[in-house]
Structure 1
Amino acid sequence: MRDFDTIAAIATPPGESGVALIKISGTDAKTIVSEIFKMKTGGIFLNSRPWTMHYGHILEHDSGDVIDEVVVSYFMAPKSYTAEDVVEITCHGGYASTRRILEQVMVMGARPAAPGEFTKRAFLNGRIDLAQAEAVIDIINAKTDQSMRTAMAQSQGRLSREISTIREKLLNMLAFIEVTVDFPEDDLESATAEKVKDNALEIVEKIESLLKTSGEGKIIRDGLRTVIAGKPNVGKSSLLNTLLMENRAIVTDVPGTTRDVIEEYLNLDGIPIILVDTAGIRDTQDIVERIGVDISKQKLVEADLVLFMLDRSRPIDNEDLEIITRLENNRYIVLLNKTDLEDRLDYDHPILQDAIQVSATNGFGISELKKRIKDMFFDGTVKAGEYSVSNDRHKEALMRANESLKDALAALKGNMQLDVVSIDLSTAWSYLGEITGDTLQEDLIDKIFSDFCVGK
């Protein structure tokens, strides 16, 4: 897994910008840049001190022509992002300058970095563990301050410390069992079994406490997929525009105006909402509209939350009832739109008991809607940085570890031999190690880092 050749990549997005950054990491990073960098002071970059910045020009190696005016920074191992020697070249943004500088770095011996390879090297060199490495991509993808704070807490080792503490306790339990098994003449088995039981119960309680944060944590990390559903012309697109505070969707009095799915991000008091406006669900002979209706039905299946809109100026009809039957497996909020018109709904229908009166055009009821969403998913309060588990991989590992611990407790209750109990404890220890990367297979580690962008 360890490949110590020198790598390089453009670390900033492509396109026109004020500045761009080219990152080089590896044993030869400083030597490579010294060959093409002329310092303005006349000094030699190879002799420069670490953690300093130098102004000058990048030259084409063969011709000596100036490519760009740059600032070059040098970070010496192990106090760098990758725990290797790292050189960063800050040049003017744009395609031509960055590409030409990167080409010269390659000519001098570096190779292109693979996606996520800089962070992978930080992990392989022991500067961060796998949970912290995965938090890097969460920081990049964060859509709200809350999701940013949660990702930063993980990148600083919040979850890793808790997992390490649990694994250390499991290791001590395994050592205690081994001593007891190796010295049966001391008659310690009963006392050891009781101690292992107490510790296992304590760890199960801790793991289940972590798992309780996973639902909210996943929403903070990935966003709450919220589908606005209803039959045509009930005000779905108007609600989308009101929530976004911009005219994102076309709104007309003609039923069936929305024929495709519109997705937008909304920051709801720190909760990242993936807001999905769908085509009105109804029977139609229009081929294009029918495709949109089929997509709308699929989006209902995928939704974390459905905002089911009814036009309160019209009685509930068969089209509404068909949508209601599709909500049986969803978490949903019923919105009664068009409060400015005469109310013609029959409130005996059970789905209307907790409905919210709204106006998608003037914003009436939107505050109540936001409060309802927070109450439904976060018990009314979104707590800054308190969601330890936000990654599906981490959740699965915790669940498997918890199952193994419960198997160990069942074995203890059944008065089984301690060396049998130790197998379940060892399995739990291994599952928890997958979170930090201590016991994860190489191909899975490669897959995790392949999802990163090049240059990170």
Structure 2
Amino acid sequence: MQEINGEHLTIAAVATAVAPGQGGIAVIRLSGPQAQDAVRAVTCIPGDQPWASHRVLYGHVLAKGGVERIDEVLVVLMLAPRSFTGEDVVEIHCHGGVMAVQRVLERVLAQPGVRRAQPGEFSQRAVLNGRLDLTRAEAISDLVAARSQRAAQLAMAGVDGGVQQRIEMLRQRLLDQLSELEARVDFEEDLPPLDGEALLEELLDVRRALLQLVEDGQRSAALRQGLRVALVGRPNVGKSSLLNRLSRRERAIVTDLPGTTRDLLESEIVLEGVPITLLDTAGIRATQDAVEQIGIARSHDALVSADLVVLLFDLSDGWTADDESLRQLIPEGVPWLRVGNKADLVEGTGAAAAATADELEADVRFSAATGVGEAELVQGLLERCGALTDGALLLALNQRQGDLAAAAADALQRSQQVAADGLPWDFWTIDLRQAIQSLGEITGEELTESVLDRIFSRFCIGK
């Protein structure tokens, strides 16, 4: 982080979302040694209002020259060490929108020793100053980005320290075993024999717990990140109707004319707690229409980027050669669900037609017009892409944490080979130290500032 005269610069940023005409208030946050002086220099606080910690002051932000009032504000002081970052933190609560916020921030940034905060820098300072461990800081970012109630609940479990406590408990168990091993390396003749089988069982028990955390994290990934689901099919098989039904609104234009959808339409929904972006693609067919050709090209791109492809076909037409050609366009490794639409037209045409429809082996039979089969469609969609999560899932590691937990589990797995080879105790410590270091990187115990910079660069500005 940048420094001035050996001290950290004071940082400032807007800590709330800013959009024209949106939001009654906005918060500008400052943290660092010049926070109070900078805010004093730009505000007029009338009367005898004490600048004491955890007090709210009323006043105005003044333009340069100290005459024009930019905005009517509240100033909140949280002085070190009783603040989010552990430094002096001062917040200016001004009116929302764009212009007032921009002018107030410009006045703050013009003060000596103050610069614009980098993404995640407030949280990074909180970690470096010991106010937060790394898992809590990451959980706060996940909470801000949560797109569903379930994702917010998992993030809140991390904010409350659930991930940190679980990882630290496992790390302490490994540290206990490492201390026993190191004692035997240095003083084996003076200590009772160490039970190698019991030691190995303890290491493998920790490994099993880590693998369970990794699995839970993988199961919850869809809750945090959401899924991209591409709706693909021939023109006029009902892709737009399906989008509208799942979105519960007329998001796409629906007509009987082929090629109505000429661009890639997106609609964000939540199914069973999982955020999903539905991609309504243009019907893929041979066409001379230049605009429709662009839409079809984007449909091909959507197939590559999708987490799941829903391939619609018309039950009343049956599975055609064109449908099979579309199936072959789905990239290898991308899960797909075959959905027969217009079930309402088929089921009313007699037993022979129904039998023919059964032979099509559709994963789901559905009617966008009546909603028949919608529950089965949602269930099949989530199941096919592995997004069905156990309601008992209480906490989950993110991708970075899961990778480190898996690395620790791999290191502990190597202990089995060390034991099988009958190697001395000092060989056991090598992999054990590696596992302990990986777990320390999860909570921030073993991280360098440069690695922290990379982690927090993915946070939003102002957090």
> TM-score normalised to the size of structure 2?
0.89
Shift in CA distance, 202/372, structure 1 to aligned 2, threshold 3 Å: same
| Aligned residues between the structures | 449
Q: Shift in Å at residue 350 of structure 1?
A: 6.8
C-alpha separation in 2, matches of 1:145 and 1:133: 19
Q: CA deviation at 1:108?
A: 2.9
Is 2:309 the counterpart of 1:306?
A: yes
Residues 351, 324 of structure 1: alpha-carbon distance in 2 compared, 3 angstrom cutoff: farther
Of 82, 85, 89, which aligns to 1:82? 85
The alpha-carbon deviation at position 426 of structure 1 amounts to 0.8
Alpha-carbon distance in structure 1 between the residues aligned to 2:105 and 2:320: 64
The correspondence for 2:459, drawn from 433, 447, 452, is 452
Give 1:205 deviation, angstroms.
0.9
Mapped contact 1:374–1:381 kept (Cα < 8 A): no
Q: Following TM superposition, by how much is the alpha carbon of 1:177 offset from its aligned partner in structure 2, in angstroms?
A: 0.6
Name 2:269's counterpart in structure 1. 266
Q: 1:403, CA displacement in angstroms?
A: 0.9
- Name the counterpart of 2:422: 415
Aligned to 2:31: 25
CA distance in 2 between counterparts of 1:379 and 1:264 reads 18
1:283-362 equivalences in 2 (<5 Å): 283-284=286-287, 286-326=289-329, 329-342=333-346, 346-347=356-357, 351-352=361-362, 355-362=363-370
| 1:36 pairs with 2:39 | no
**Aligned-pair Cα RMSD in Å:** 2.5
Kept in 2: contact 1:211–1:395 (CA 8 A): yes
Work out the CA distance in 1 between the residues paired with 2:414 and 2:393: 32
Give TM-score, length-normalised by structure 1. 0.91
Structure 1's 338 and 136: CA in aligned 2 closer, same or farther, altered over 3 A?
same
Q: Deviations over 1:407-455 (max 9, x none)?
A: 1222112212221121111111112222222223433321221222222
User: Does the aligned pair in 2 maintain the 1:238–1:251 contact within 8 Å?
Assistant: yes
For residue 140 of structure 2, what is the aligned residue in structure 1?
Answer: 136
> Where do residues 28-427 of structure 1 align in structure 2 (5 Å cutoff)?
28-40=34-46, 42-43=47-48, 47-60=50-63, 62-109=65-112, 110-186=114-190, 188=192, 191-284=194-287, 286-326=289-329, 329-342=333-346, 346-347=356-357, 351-352=361-362, 355-375=363-383, 383=391, 386-389=394-397, 391-427=398-434
Q: After superposition, what is the alpha-carbon deviation per residue over 1:223-259, rounded to whole angstroms, capped at 9, x for unaligned?
A: 1222212222110111001100111112222223223
**AA partner of residue 153 (structure 1):** A
Residue 208 of structure 1, CA deviation:
1.2
Cα distance in 2 between the residues matched to 1:422 and 1:7? 43
Please give the alpha-carbon distance, in whole angstroms, between the structure 1 residues aligned to 2:258 and 2:454: 46
Contact 1:52 1:74 in 2 (8 A): yes
Work out the percentage of aligned pairs sharing the same amino acid.
39
Structure 1 residues 235 and 90: CA distance shift in structure 2, 3 A: same
Unaligned runs of at least 5 residues, structure 2? 348-352
Distance 2:308 2:66 in 1: 62
Question: What's the offset of the Cα at 1:49?
Answer: 2.3
8 Å CA contact 2:336, 2:384 repeated in 1: no
Q: CA deviation at 1:60?
A: 3.3
1:436 and 2:453 matched: no
**Residue type at the aligned position of 1:365:** G
Measured in 2, the distance between the counterparts of 1:284 and 1:412 equals 67
Distance in 2 between the 1:171 and 1:147 partners? 32
8 Å Cα contact 1:59-1:66 kept in structure 2: yes
Q: CA deviation at 1:65?
A: 3.1
Instruction: Confirm or deny: 8 A CA contact 1:149 1:384 kept in the other structure.
Output: no
